Amino acid sequence: MSDDDTSPERGTDEADGEENRARTDGGAERSRTEGRRAVPDGGVALDPWGSATVADYRELFEEFGIEEFEAIIDEVPEPHYLMRRGVIFGHRDYGAVARALANDEPAAALSGFMPTGDPHIGHKLVFDELIYHQEQGADTYGLIADLEAHSARGLTWEEIDEHARDYLLSLLALGFDPEDGELYRQSTNRRLQDLAFELGSNARFAEFESIYGFDGETSVSHMQSVVTQMADILYPQLDEPKPTVIPVGPDQDPHVRLSRDIARKTRYFRVTEAFASPEFDAAERVLVGRAYDRREEWAEDPETPRCEDAAAWLAEADVDAEFESARAGAVEKLENAGMEPLRPRTRFLDRNADEDAFEALIEAVPGEKRVFDAHIDSFELDREDAEELAREVEVDNGGFGFYTPSSIYHRFMTGLTGGKMSSSIEASHISLLDDPEEGYDKVKSATTGGRETADKQRELGGKADECPVYELYAYLLANDDDGFAEEVYEECVGGERLCGGCKEQAATLMREFLADHQEKREEAEELLADLDIDLDVDGSRRGIPGDEE
């Protein structure tokens, strides 16, 4: 796999097998920031500040290398209902976080909110994802992306202060425990800003151009908000490196990819697998590994297989089409290595280590090893132990030792009026601050996946998969009760459930949810007042909001 994940990668298998779980095809949305951007070669890119919709989630696997969540759910100790119902559909490296949680090892979760309007039921997905990880034992962080709202959305500090309060109150009301986690706003967090500055050394304008489409018109403050987000994502690892998950909508994936890339660039050492002194790329390594496994067939002495003999074998061997292009390079490197024995090993490549750190690593590698100018080969450590040792030595010698951050992606919610859920279209979304009666009314007037007449509905069943009301059940109203969500689904598609009654039930549940949530928000006021977070920067800050959209 490519070391640099900002370049397009091929994904894994296609999404399939969607039938047997209560799930919907709609998209969930966390704000109006969902979008894709056209790029010069005619393709598309995910755009965190754009406004288009994600038409096909499968494309995200194929085009961007996001992995299917379904493939990993069995490794998650107690999967959240949003995971079980396929609302969380994709991830990068979530296995690292799942394993840490399962083994009671340190892990963290962090997400951020741009305070551009009222928090709504799309944001609730992310609040719930954070709280879930907190309950599972992760150090959990929630942040207010005020720098981004000011520079990329042009909000005034007064507006930002007001919305920031509202996001935090809802997060607390839903169960976030501030004693056991941290809430902050970007602009007042000095440690964060220091980290952002350091990470900026590893971010190039050319990358911003290709990832975000930034150009000569982009304000420097907007760019600063991007490095700040990179710092947000790595902030949980400042005291101690640990697997960290960033729950977000897929529109945020460009930020995730860039942060993964930057995190890797800060590392002192890179651990790879090798077979001889040459450095093989990933595809070449597969071929050389195959040659090694079949050494009985070609080595004069299989105890000491020689590189040049492997080269001769590999030049003639049958290889899968996908590796054909790697063959010539592998053969050439093996030929150049001549009589050198082919022997598996774990390699530490020096990337950013100073002399002391490199020396310290040489010392620390146990057992048989070979030391070169800029790498060390170990014949005893496996890859995982080597990773751990490299991180330890890095941290002991003044480095960060970051784990490459992980992410999970949830679907965007469909608007109640059909189309996308948007903060700017009142009737399309339900704000967490909506009067409960208003919430009731909005659900009552939502579009549905129902048929034209009741008779047809009884005959053909409703289209739950295309119904925003069903989504409300699956994403929110059914809560942890899978049986209930499935019952609604089955009754709908089986023609036993008619839209009038179904909406009445959903609207009533929504009214109850909003009333209860708002009561809890009032109780959370006190918690919020006790937190060390400045919610009145407007009093002390003069603003020049950016005007970019």
Quote the tokens at residue 169. Answer: 């109150």
- 3-class DSSP state for residue 283? helix
Q: Residue 544: CA atoms inside 13 Å, Cβ hemisphere, count?
A: 4
CB 268 within 8 Å of CB 351: yes
Q: How far, in Å, CA of 348 to CA of 371, rounded?
A: 10
Number of residues that bind ligand TRP (CB under 6 A): 17
Element (H, E) at 173: helix 157-173
307: DSSP letter: H
> Which ranges of 371-498 would DSSP assign to H, the alpha helix?
383-396, 436-444, 454-460, 468-472, 482-493
Q: Which partner, ligand SF4, ligand TRP, none, binds residue 390 by CB below 5 to 8 Å per kind?
A: none
Chain residues 120-149 in contact with ligand TRP, contact rule CB under 6 A: 143, 145, 148
Q: How far, in Å, CA of 531 to CA of 182, rounded?
A: 9
Q: Which partner, ligand TRP, ligand SF4, none, binds residue 469 by CB below 5 to 8 Å per kind?
A: ligand SF4
Part in contact with ligand SF4 (CB under 6 A); list of ranges 30-38, 304-312, 494-502, 514-522: 494-502
The per-residue b/e assignment along 213-242, b for 16 or more CB within 10 angstroms, e otherwise, is: bbeeebeebbbbbbbbbbbbbbbbbeeebb
Considering the complex, state which of residue 392 and residue 486 has its C-beta at the smaller distance from ligand SF4.
486
Q: How far, in Å, CA of 37 to CA of 45, rounded?
A: 5
CB of 416 to ligand SF4, least distance (A): 11
Considering the complex, state which of residue 171 and residue 506 has its C-beta at the smaller distance from ligand TRP.
171
Considering the complex, state which of residue 233 and residue 393 has its C-beta at the smaller distance from ligand TRP.
233
CB of 417 to ligand SF4, least distance (A): 14
Instruction: Name the residue among 177, 75, 194 with its Cα closest to residue 130.
Output: 177
Q: Which partner, ligand SF4, ligand TRP, none, binds residue 464 by CB below 5 to 8 Å per kind?
A: ligand SF4
Site string for ligand SF4, 470-489 (x = CB under 6 A): x-------------------
Quote the tokens at residue 405. Answer: 């951050």
CB 323 within 8 Å of CB 301: no
Part in contact with ligand SF4 (CB under 6 A); list of ranges 19-27, 91-99, 169-177, 496-504: 496-504
Strand 244-248 relative to strand 108-113: parallel, antiparallel, unpaired? parallel
Chain residues 14-53 in contact with ligand TRP, contact rule CB under 6 A: 31, 33, 48
CB 212 within 8 Å of CB 247: no
Part in contact with ligand TRP (CB under 6 A); list of ranges 111-119, 413-421, 450-458, 516-524: 111-119
Q: Is 96 in the site for ligand SF4 (CB under 6 A)?
A: no
Ramachandran angles phi, psi of 525, nearest 5°: -50, -45
Considering the complex, state which of residue 237 and residue 346 has its C-beta at the smaller distance from ligand TRP.
237
Considering the complex, state which of residue 338 and residue 494 has its C-beta at the smaller distance from ligand SF4.
494
Q: Is 256 in the site for ligand SF4 (CB under 6 A)?
A: no
Radius of gyration of the chain (CA): 26
Site string for ligand SF4, 429-468 (x = CB under 6 A): -------------------xxx-----------xxx--x-
Ramachandran category for residue 529: left, alpha or beta (phi over 0 → left; psi -120 to 50 → alpha): alpha
CB of 416 to ligand TRP, least distance (A): 21
Element (H, E) at 143: strand 139-144
Whole-number Cα distances in Å, 416 to 30, 448, 515: 14, 8, 20
Chain residues 146-175 in contact with ligand TRP, contact rule CB under 6 A: 148
Q: Is 417 in the site for ligand SF4 (CB under 6 A)?
A: no
Full DSSP string of 7-57 = S-----SPP---TTSS---S---SSTT--EEE-TTS-EEE-TT-------H
Q: Which residue type, as a one-letter code, is found at position 225? A: S
Residue 43, number of CB atoms within 10 A of its CB? 11
Q: Which partner, ligand TRP, ligand SF4, none, binds residue 152 by CB below 5 to 8 Å per kind?
A: none
Q: Is 497 in the site for ligand SF4 (CB under 6 A)?
A: yes
Q: Is 231 in the site for ligand TRP (CB under 6 A)?
A: no
Chain residues 87-106 in contact with ligand TRP, contact rule CB under 6 A: none
Q: Is 118 in the site for ligand TRP (CB under 6 A)?
A: no
464: DSSP letter: G
Q: Is 246 in the site for ligand TRP (CB under 6 A)?
A: yes
Which one of residues 192, 248, 274, 365 is an interface residue with ligand TRP (CB under 6 A)?
248
Q: How far, in Å, CA of 273 to CA of 8, rounded?
A: 23
Q: Is 416 in the site for ligand SF4 (CB under 6 A)?
A: no
Site string for ligand SF4, 501-520 (x = CB under 6 A): -xx-----------------
Q: Which partner, ligand SF4, ligand TRP, none, binds residue 111 by CB below 5 to 8 Å per kind?
A: ligand TRP
Considering the complex, state which of residue 122 and residue 450 has its C-beta at the smaller distance from ligand TRP.
122
Q: Which residue type, as a one-letter code, is found at position 56? A: D
Number of residues that bind ligand SF4 (CB under 6 A): 14
β-bridge mates for residue 407, sequence order: 92, 246
Q: Which partner, ligand SF4, ligand TRP, none, binds residue 337 by CB below 5 to 8 Å per kind?
A: none
Q: Which partner, ligand SF4, ligand TRP, none, binds residue 112 by CB below 5 to 8 Å per kind?
A: ligand TRP
Q: Enumerate binding residues for ligand TRP (CB under 6 A).
A: 31, 33, 48, 110-114, 143, 145, 148, 229, 232-233, 246, 248, 252
Q: Enumerate binding residues for ligand SF4 (CB under 6 A).
A: 448-450, 462-464, 467, 469-470, 492, 497, 499, 502-503
